[in-house]
Amino acid sequence: MRIFYLPIEAYQERYTELLMGWTTEALMGMCSRAPDRKLVVIEGGGRPKDGIQIGRVLDAHGRSIWCLTQTIRLLEMLQQEPATRDDILYIDDMFHPGYEALPYLFEQVGRENWPAVYVRNHAQSVDQHDFTFPMRRWMRHYEQMVCRTATGVICASQCHREAMQIANWHAPIHVLGLPFNRDSVRAIAGETQDREHRPARVMWASRWDSEKQPNIFLEMVERLSPQIEFVACTGSRELRGTDIEAVRWAERLERRGWLRIVRGATKKEYYGELAQCRAHFLSSLQDYVSYCLLDASALDVVSIAPAYKSFAEVLEADHDRLYIPWNLFDAETKLRAAVLQPLAFESADIGRPADFHHGTLDRIVDLFEGYDISDDE
């Protein structure tokens, strides 16, 4: 058995910087348990050296170049040693330019040798707030092609699977969680203080794009400063996003001294800053489990989020950590309590999301090893 892993490209400003390493480690563990298993990690080329240049989530040019070169390298390997039904392909992102070459090949070499093909869906056009939604006139056809040729689609939350089912996706959909390594995040952050001994500080770590609704966070800064401190982290060298007005507003608050903005933050700097906060604020319209939330959970930081999309699922419908969507008064009340009453929140509750998604890669390995994870789970 060969496991071909096609990772998503790594960017400092995105969670993808660590994802390849976490996943590779888990798959290597799977291979170490059987002498006939071999892991093949196929990276691509064309990733911009200075980070994302065009695009909101991944670089528009770099994503395609990365995927196409991955596909070429995979095809060259399969030309030398053809695929068998015992092989597994795991593709980190469902939108993978060049994907159509795989079923085109497998149909011709014989369906009896078609390997298992699993893809991870992070959002796609089933989400009206995703950047691919305006592309749906052609993206829906791409998604259906993948669904009719892949063995399974892996996602992080139940509400995301429901959106895919409503869109009439035919592939088996496995809700396994978001790949995450709690211990790695804690190790990078270093030693941390108990929450009650930290400054009365709140972190914003989401992108400055419209679907993240940064204006709601900035309203919290206006209402609660200077009693409460606010910090925003970005891996980009400059503050940027599709919500231009929010970016300008944030820069005005920075000049006023009410918002500290850390630009070009490495993961160590970001985790270090987060570990000095009592609370973390979210207002996104588009999250199927948030990496920012999992980071906060791993570092004993209370996330305050809207009762919307996967947040209610991830935070277990906890009234104290979920505010009524778009209700600024409720958001302010919940955030104030999280910061000024830190002992009211149990660390075990805060840590549960990180604990659960820390097991995601093990569940993916179980799926690959034939563990019976049914579509009805």
- Among the listed ranges 234-238, 277-281, 368-372, which one has the minimum average pLDDT value? 368-372
Residue range 131-183, pLDDT digits in tens: 888 999 999 999 999 999 999 999 999 999 999 999 999 899 999 999 999 99
- Among the listed ranges 13-27, 178-192, 230-244, 276-290, which one has the minimum average pLDDT value? 13-27
In 3D space, the residue among 248, 246, 254 whose CA is nearest the CA of residue 217 turns out to be 246
Tokens standing for residue 304 = 């305050």
Q: Where are the beta strands (DSSP E) in 171-259?
A: 173-175, 201-204, 229-233
Percent of the residues in the chain that have a pLDDT greater than 70, as a whole number: 93
Q: Which class would CATH give 182-356? A: alpha beta
Query: Is the fold of 2-180+359-368 the same as that of 182-356?
Result: yes
Q: What is the DSSP letter of 197?
A: G
Let me know how long the chain is.
377
In 3D space, the residue among 90, 104, 109 whose CA is nearest the CA of residue 1 turns out to be 90
Residue 51: its pLDDT value, please?
62
Residue range 64-118, pLDDT digits in tens: 898 999 999 999 999 999 999 999 999 999 999 999 999 999 999 888 889 999 9
| Residue 154: CB atoms within 10 Å | 26
Residue 56: its pLDDT value, please?
55
Say yes or no to pLDDT of 13 above 90: no
Residue range 340-357, pLDDT digits in tens: 999 999 999 999 999 999
Residue 365: its pLDDT value, please?
94
Topology given in CATH for the domain delimited by 2-180+359-368: Rossmann fold (3.40.50)
* 78: helix, strand or coil: helix
| Average model confidence (pLDDT) across the chain | 91
Q: Are 347 and 300 in contact (CB under 8 A)?
A: yes
* Cα-based distances in Å from 161 to 128, 134, 153, 169: 14, 20, 9, 9
Across 21-41, average pLDDT: 91
In 3D space, the residue among 241, 301, 247, 230 whose CA is nearest the CA of residue 271 turns out to be 301
Percent of the residues in the chain that have a pLDDT greater than 90, as a whole number: 78
Residue 371: its pLDDT value, please?
44
Which amino acid is located at 263 in the chain? R
